[in-house]
Amino acid sequence: MKWLIIALACIQLSECFHKVILHHGKSVRQILRERGELKEFLKTHQRDPALKYHHLFPEYQSEAASEPLQSYVDNFYYGAMTMGSPPQSFEVLFDTGSSNLWLPSIYCKSQACMNHKRYNPNKSSTYYTNGQYFSIAYGSGSLTGFFGYDTANVAGITIKNQEFGLSENEPGTSFYYSKYDGILGLAYPSLSAGYATPVFDNMIHDNLVSSPLFSIYLSRKPTSQNGGEMIFGGIDNSHYTGAITWVPVLQEMYWLIAMEGVLLNGQPAFCSQGCQAMVDTGTSYLTVPSQELGQLLQTIGAYKDEYGEYLVNCDTVGNLPSLTFIINGVHLTIPGSAYIQQVSGYCVVAISSTYLRAPTQNGLFWILGDVFLREFYSIYDRGNNRMGFATSA
C-alpha cells in the first residue's frame, strides 16, 4: 500500500485555541492560564501559520445551494454534511487552503477522534475502498488513515463516489478541542493528496451546480448558530454592497492572488514592490511577512505578554489604524478593530507572521484569513480562475 506524505492546510491550534469554549463555559486559554500551563502550551504549539504551504516551496442541481455556517466565536467556520447510505452526519471546516475531505473514523482511538463523531463504513451500503493509506503532516500534529469512497451530501447536493480520508490516528490536541469533526478542502485538485478529486470538482464534473464558482460570507458578529453562509454555484447579492473587485488567480493550486500594496491608515507601509497573498478560510488570523510585523506592531502600540502573544490596551481599539489592501488597483480597507479579538478581558492582536516567501516569486507573502474575510464577501470562480471581493453587507 502506498503511503502519501502531504501537508494539509489545517487550522493551527496556536491560531485559535483561545476561542474554543468547553462545555463548562471556559475557554482553553482560561483553563491553561489557571493551571499555569499556557506558556508551555504556546511554546509547544505555536507555529508559522504558513507552514501548511511549505511543501509547495523547493443528481442535478439547477441552482445555487446554500450551506449555513456556524462559528465558535470568530475563529472556526464550519457546516453540516453527511456521508454514507443511510447518511451519517458530521460537521466540517470549509477550508479554501486545502483540497482533501477527511473525517474521523471508527478505527481511530485517539482522544481527538473519541471526542468527535466518527464515520462507520460498516453502516453504509455505498462505501468501498482501495486500501490506499496516507499520512498527513501539518504545523502542529499529524494525521494518518486511508482513503475510501462513499455518497456525500453537502448543502443538499448529493455527490456519489466521493473519495475521502478516514482517519485512524489523530495524535495530540490539535483537533481535540475543535467543534468540527473533519475538514472539507476547497482549493484546486492539483493540491489534493492521493490525486483525490475534491468535493467541489465533483460537483462541477457531475453538473450539480449551475455555475463553477462558490462564494463565502463570514459574519462580522458571528454566533454559534449564525456564522455566515457558503453558496455552491452562485452569489448572494444580499451579502455585499458596492461593486465586486475581480483579480486573477496566480497559481491553480491555492487561491493565490497578487497585491500591489498595503496601506496603514491610508499611507504606504508594506508590500511596496508588490506581493502575493493566499485567501484562506482555514486561517483565523491575518498573516504578514515576518520582516514587516515589527513595524506594524510598533505602530499600533502592541506589547508581548508572558505567553508570547501580542496585546493592545483595550481602551485604544477604537483609535487603531486601518489596513488597506490594494488588489487589482482597488483599495479594500479593514478598520483597526477588525484585527483585534477580545478574549477573557484581553485585547489580542489577531495578526501573526510567516517566514515563508511567495510561492511563485521570491517576494513577500501574506495570508488573508478570517480577519480579512469577515470584512469582504469572497467569490471563488473556478470557471475563470479568478477571485472576487466586495464589502460585506
Look-up of cell digits 458596492? 242
Catalytic residue positions? 95, 280
Q: In angstroms, rounded to a whole number, what is the distance separating the alpha carbons of residues 48 and 356? A: 9
